Structure formats: structure tokens, C-alpha cells
Amino acid sequence: MAEATGNSESPKLATDAHVKYVLSLDTKTDELDYWMTEHLRLNGAYWGLSALHFLSHPEALPRKDTIDFVLSCQHDNGGFGAAPGHDTHLLSTVSAVQILAMVDGFDELEARGKGKAVVGKFLADLQNPESGSFFGDEWGEEDTRFLYAALNALSLLGLLSLVDVDKAVAHVVSCTNFDGGYGAKPGAESHAAQVFTCVAALAIAGRLDLVEHEKLGRWLSERQLPGGGLNGRPEKQEDVCYNPDNGGFSDRPGNQVDVWHTCFGAAGLSLLGYPGMEPVDPRYCMPKKIVARVLGE
């Protein structure tokens, strides 16, 4: 999981290699993978920037270029697409808001973009008035990921009042399972990814009192396997390891690294208190000091 030190001391994180890996991602325009992942470009920018923050290298990406790219993905309705010319989506929009928060770019959103209010309306219009959940886009797919993303972005924008938070909370609670975990929708299988989105949504809404703490804690503790890693659901393999030579995290040893696992691998090390890591706010998967500045906490 980390670079060996040749003795019994704790393994050392190959920070420089990870930073180099993240910075290399936008230079591989002659590779097929670069174009095959265009639909994740804005999400990838958030994952990469977050990883750099957690690795204590927040200035590694040029601020102006970052803001320019984010604003180039915005549509007239306030939403953001995954890349310039792509359709708007809630997941791209939350990534855009998170990036702008991390680079202190909300003033640029007002000056050169469509502004917070228009973004907020785009997000609010995606709430299902009947269930309290959120659609990912105009085509109507619903998932607790989208609900979490909406509350995440709206709270960072200071616009949570635009949506029915109580109804959103009730929907999250309806996704609770007998084991204390959460599914993507009512009755769906418990999964660690949905646990993160649902618990984080409740935290943002100020309703952690609704979590069945003991049941959920037991289910989460059962995710750890003998090797120390954790899986996302029963009978699955553990996830997240990294390459000390070329940088980046993968799901398991020997597999291809990617920026998603790099972001959440670095966030996990931060939560575990690994030395030299920037503290993470687990509600937003963003640097704690950034969230505190934006929310005035």
C-alpha cells in the first residue's frame, strides 16, 4: 500500500509520485483512454484537485486554468456538463461547485459564469416533488447519489433553502435497510458507496440523529477483510491500493491506477490520520479548512 522503507518503520507515502501522477492526467491527449473518459472530465478535475489538497499540494494546478475549464462546461440553465459541449448533469454540477469552492472561485462564477442563483435553480428544479429525491438530469434517473450531490452543492452555495430538505431527508431514511445500511433507492441492497452518500446527506441536513448508529457501525465493521482492506458489500474483494513507483491509487494491488481511487485513497489516509495529510471533511470529501471557510464554520 505504500513505499517500503527497508526496516520495521511504518511505510512511507510516495507523495511526490502521486502528485506527479495527478498532474500528468491532462497531458495524455494522444491516448485513447483520455478521450474515452471525456464524460468524466469535470468529475476527474474534482477528484484530482481534491487528491492534491489531501496530499498537501493544493497549488499544483493553475487556478486560472482550472476556473476557465469549469466555466467552459456551464450551460445557460446554470448546470454543468462533464466537458465543454456535454449535456448538463447533477454529478458534473456538484463537481463544478466543489472545484470553485476549493479554488475560491465563486466570485468568478458571478462575474463570468451564470452565477450562484442560476446554478441553485438548476439543482432545485431536479428535486422530485413527490419523493423528495433528485433526478440526475432531465431524463429522470433517481439515485441517492444525486440527492447527496444536490445537498452538497446547494449547501456550499448557501442555497439549501431552495429545496425541501425535510422531504429529502425522509427519502434517505426510506432507503435504510434492516442491516442499518443504505441502498440507492428504497429496497435496494446496502452498499458502502450509498452509505457514504446517505450519511453525508443527513449530516449536511443536520439529521445524523436518524442514523441507526449501532446497526450501521456493525455492518461497516464487517466490510474489513483479513488483509486490512474494506469491501463495499458482502462477499466482494477489498478496494484501494497504490503504486509507489508511478503514483496513483488502484482498487487492488497490480491493477491500473485511476484518479477516482487516488482521490478517495488519499481521503482515507487523511481520515486515518496519516502524517502530512490535509484534514478532510467527510461530509463533502473536501479539505476541512475549505469547507469551514465556505460555510463560515
- Domain annotation covers residue 67: yes
- Domain annotation covers residue 198: yes
Q: Which of 30-34, 38-42, 83-87, 202-206 has the lowest mean pLDDT?
A: 30-34
Distance CA 158, CA 38 (A): 30
- Domain annotation covers residue 4: no
- Domain annotation covers residue 100: yes
- Domain annotation covers residue 241: yes
Number of domains the chain is built from = 1
How sure is the predictor about 9, in pLDDT bands with cuts at 50, 70 and 90?
low
Angle 59-43-95 (CA atoms, 0-180°, nearest 5)?
Answer: 75
> How many CB atoms are located within 10 Å of the residue 230 CB?
17
**What does the pLDDT look like over 242-282, one tens digit per residue?**
444 468 888 888 888 888 899 999 999 999 999 999 999 99
- Domain annotation covers residue 35: yes
Q: Report percent pLDDT > 70 for the chain.
A: 94
pLDDT reported for residue 1: 42
Domain extent at residue 88: 15-295
**What does the pLDDT look like over 163-215, one tens digit per residue?**
999 999 999 999 999 999 999 999 999 999 999 999 999 999 999 999 999 99
Residue 240 has pLDDT above 80, yes or no: no
DSSP 207: -
CATH at residue 87: 1.50.10.20
How sure is the predictor about 7, in pLDDT bands with cuts at 50, 70 and 90?
very low
- Terminal-residue alpha carbon distance, the chain: 34
- Domain annotation covers residue 10: no
Q: Report percent pLDDT > 90 for the chain.
A: 75
pLDDT reported for residue 241: 57
- Domain annotation covers residue 22: yes
